[in-house]
């Protein structure tokens, strides 16, 4: 897209954040331009080109902007700046460093550098003079907090190069040359620690992208036990307001097996974003013993920011995730909430007067969401290392309607569905994931099944299927009891209901405020599931329905105490032995 002469233009029409610019030269789709308003330069992106008119979405408020204002086109797409110093940072959707902003409120036309240019990083070379390299090849590394940050051949360099020289081990700023590469025409190209990449294009640099097969342990039992997600997998969490989407994402961010966590608050309400900024720096990282923020990047756009910035935030977050994946790291990307992103797409589509789809969303909404989700995944790098992006987004359907277009489109793209239930949230059963409606399509993969059997047990998959069946039958029994009354159904209905409650209270519900119960390793989850299923398989003898309830409440109470104890500790083993003695009293 590089041009010898910059294209300029004049503003010919303004509809909120959609501005029509009459241009005097060539422009390209998704090209960046700046509209000059007084002393301010407002960044915008080309979203449609018709003849001499370019329709641009402005990333800032257009208040006061008038027809006749000048515009300058930059000749490149919206780009993310990639280099050491991204972790522990708070960005907006355009990757402006929010901590460098001088005012309490974001000033229009005020853009900040995403990196600290004067900080020196201790560079350790991994390649040597004479090596032949291609895009994304590792030249060296620096330590970014506790993460080995690889310095790579820029992704835009799409040929084979020979390393003419590489810097010795030492301290350098991000803008100093750390290597000189020679192309096949003999031209020397200096390389620094910084590179740029268009956020709307997937980052290259991997040799293959197989189907995900490794389990990603999140520590959340209702996910790992019943509907696990894989490393490099995709999932989404739909649910009505107040059912715990944000809290669940925080729990997964803290506990999941990931090297880097990227959180995209793409248009969430201001109070939820403030909560992220205030809580994450204080959270202890159970994996490293340091602070969680040290391996986290937050990209925030509140709902009162321009709609175009909301759309940019998800793409910027994914580009940063792809950058760290190319280093051979496991990245967890959380987006809250993708409904805001879809609403931004709807607003711009409506202003362009495009043919509307269901609920006035764009006709190609499903394709846009699918293309974005496809950028996640597990990859093999040319040097044999592996990297992954596990993407979990939330959806906030209006009125809790899971049939609305954003939820339906996301369901087609994501492989895991973790539907939050208003009923479970109201009854304080957290996490409020509905165990019956939710699913993981990764359980259909033979390689995932083999991986789980090797890690856990041969009977693991059968146990999961059995637990889901008990939960479903328990729900049916409860409905019958509610309709016909306690005395109106056979005793076996009460037993069936309470066996499902045993799985619900012991396996599905979790205490995020308890140090032990907040995160459960998979080996413990497998052990506890097998223990509970042994109880549900046992035939008991009861005289009446009150006796059923009293018995299972006692069993649930003992199991819940075990959940708060160190696994296989003396107290844990004592409680387990006492439970077995208690179960013997009611065996038929």
Model pLDDT for residues 540-554, shown as the tens digit of each residue:
999 999 999 999 999
pLDDT surpassing 60 at residue 438: yes
Average pLDDT over residues 286-314: 82
Provide the percentage of residues in the chain whose pLDDT is more than 90. 79
Q: Classify residue 455: in a domain, yes or no.
A: no
pLDDT surpassing 60 at residue 132: yes
Q: Classify residue 71: in a domain, yes or no.
A: yes
The set of residues, in sequence order, having a beta carbon less than 8 Å from that of 384 and lying 6+ positions away, is none
165 and 17: one domain? no
Q: Classify residue 261: in a domain, yes or no.
A: yes
Q: Classify residue 480: in a domain, yes or no.
A: yes
Which of 89-98, 249-258, 273-282, 305-314 is least confident?
273-282
Tell me the residue length of the chain: 588
The set of residues, in sequence order, having a beta carbon less than 8 Å from that of 44 and lying 6+ positions away, is 19, 32, 33, 34, 35, 56, 57, 58, 59, 71, 308
Model pLDDT for residues 213-225, shown as the tens digit of each residue:
999 999 999 999 9
pLDDT surpassing 80 at residue 42: yes
CA 529-217-145 angle, to 5 degrees, is 150
Q: How far apart, in whole angstroms, are the C-alpha atoms of residue 495 and residue 550?
A: 11
End-to-end CA distance of the chain: 78
Average pLDDT over residues 33-44: 93
464 and 405: one domain? no
Q: How far apart, in whole angstroms, are the C-alpha atoms of residue 580 and residue 501?
A: 19
Number of H helices, E strands in the chain: 14, 25
Model pLDDT for residues 161-181, shown as the tens digit of each residue:
999 999 999 999 999 999 999
Domain count, the chain: 4
* pLDDT attached to residue 104: 63
Neighbours of 238 (CB within 10 A): 30
pLDDT surpassing 70 at residue 465: yes
pLDDT surpassing 80 at residue 1: no
185 and 237: one domain? no
Average pLDDT over residues 75-99: 93
Model pLDDT for residues 57-86, shown as the tens digit of each residue:
999 889 999 999 999 999 999 999 999 999
405 and 482: one domain? no
**Is the peptide bond preceding residue 74 cis, with omega within 30 degrees of 0?**
no
Widest Cα–Cα separation across the chain: 91
Looking at residue 587, the DSSP 8-state letter turns out to be: B
Confidence of residue 454 (pLDDT cuts 50, 70, 90): confident
Provide the percentage of residues in the chain whose pLDDT is more than 70. 97
**Structural domain of 551:** 460-584
Average pLDDT over residues 12-26: 94
Q: What CATH number does the domain containing 544 carry? A: 1.10.1140.10
Q: Classify residue 132: in a domain, yes or no.
A: yes
338 and 374: one domain? yes
408 and 472: one domain? no
Q: What CATH number does the domain containing 49 carry? A: 2.40.10.170
Give the mean pLDDT of the chain: 92
Confidence of residue 119 (pLDDT cuts 50, 70, 90): very high
* pLDDT attached to residue 379: 97
């Amino acid at each position: 897209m590089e041009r010898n002469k910059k294209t300029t233009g004049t503003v010919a029409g303004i509809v909120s954040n959609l501005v029509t610019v009459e241009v005097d030269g060539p422009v390209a789709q998704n090209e960046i331009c700046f509209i000059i308003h007084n002393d301010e330069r407002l960044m915008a992106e080309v979203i449609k080109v018709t003849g001499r008119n370019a329709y641009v979405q402005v990333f800032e408020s257009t208040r006061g902007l008038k027809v006749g204002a000048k515009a300058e086109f930059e000749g490149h797409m919206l780009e993310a700046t990639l280099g050491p110093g991204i972790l522990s940072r708070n960005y907006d959707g355009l990757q402006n460093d929010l901590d460098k902003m001088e005012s309490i409120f974001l000033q229009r036309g005020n853009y900040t550098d995403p990196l600290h240019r004067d900080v020196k990083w201790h560079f350790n070379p991994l390649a040597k003079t004479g090596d032949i390299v291609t895009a994304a090849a590792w030249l060296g590394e620096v330590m970014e907090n506790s993460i080995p940050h690889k310095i790579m051949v820029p992704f835009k360099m799409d040929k084979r190069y020979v390393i003419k020289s590489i810097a010795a081990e030492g301290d350098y700023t991000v803008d100093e040359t750390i290597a000189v590469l020679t192309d096949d025409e003999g031209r020397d190209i200096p390389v620094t620690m910084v590179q740029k990449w268009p956020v709307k294009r997937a980052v290259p640099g991997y040799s293959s992208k197989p189907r995900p097969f490794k389990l990603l342990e999140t520590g959340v039992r209702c996910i790992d036990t019943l509907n696990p997600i894989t490393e490099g997998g995709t999932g989404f969490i739909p649910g009505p307001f107040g059912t715990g989407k944000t809290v669940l994402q925080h729990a997964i961010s803290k506990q999941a097996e990931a090297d880097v966590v990227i959180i995209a608050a793409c248009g969430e309400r201001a109070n939820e974003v403030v909560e992220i900024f205030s809580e994450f720096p204080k959270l202890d990282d159970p994996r490293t013993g340091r602070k969680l923020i040290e391996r986290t990047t937050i990209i925030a756009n509140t709902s009162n920011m321009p709609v175009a910035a909301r759309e940019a935030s998800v793409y910027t977050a994914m580009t940063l995730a792809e950058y760290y994946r190319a280093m051979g790291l496991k990245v967890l990307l959380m987006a809250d909430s993708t409904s805001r992103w879809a609403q931004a797409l709807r607003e711009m589509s409506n202003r362009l007067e495009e043919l509307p789809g269901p609920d006035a969303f764009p006709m190609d909404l499903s394709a846009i969401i699918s293309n974005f989700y496809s950028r996640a995944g597990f990859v093999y790098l040319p040097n044999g290392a592996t990297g992954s992006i596990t993407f979990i987004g939330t959806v906030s359907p209006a009125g809790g309607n899971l049939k609305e277009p954003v939820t339906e489109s996301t369901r087609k793209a994501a492989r895991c569905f973790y539907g939050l239930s208003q009923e479970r949230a109201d009854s304080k059963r957290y996490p409020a994931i509905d165990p019956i409606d939710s699913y993981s399509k990764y359980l259909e993969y033979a390689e995932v099944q083999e991986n789980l059997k090797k890690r856990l047990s041969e009977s693991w998959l059968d146990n999961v299927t059995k637990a889901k069946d008990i939960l479903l039958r328990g729900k049916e029994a409860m409905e019958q009891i509610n309709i016909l009354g306690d005395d109106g159904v056979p005793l076996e209905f009460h037993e069936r209901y309470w066996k499902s409650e045993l799985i619900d209270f012991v396996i599905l519900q979790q205490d995020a405020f308890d140090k032990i119960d907040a995160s459960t390793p998979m080996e413990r989850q497998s052990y506890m599931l097998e223990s509970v299923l042994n109880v549900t398989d046992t035939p008991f003898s009861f005289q009446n329905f009150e006796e059923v309830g009293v018995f299972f409440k006692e069993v649930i109470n003992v199991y819940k105490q075990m959940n708060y104890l160190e696994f296989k500790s003396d107290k844990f083993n004592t409680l387990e032995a006492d439970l077995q003695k208690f179960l013997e009293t009611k065996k038929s």
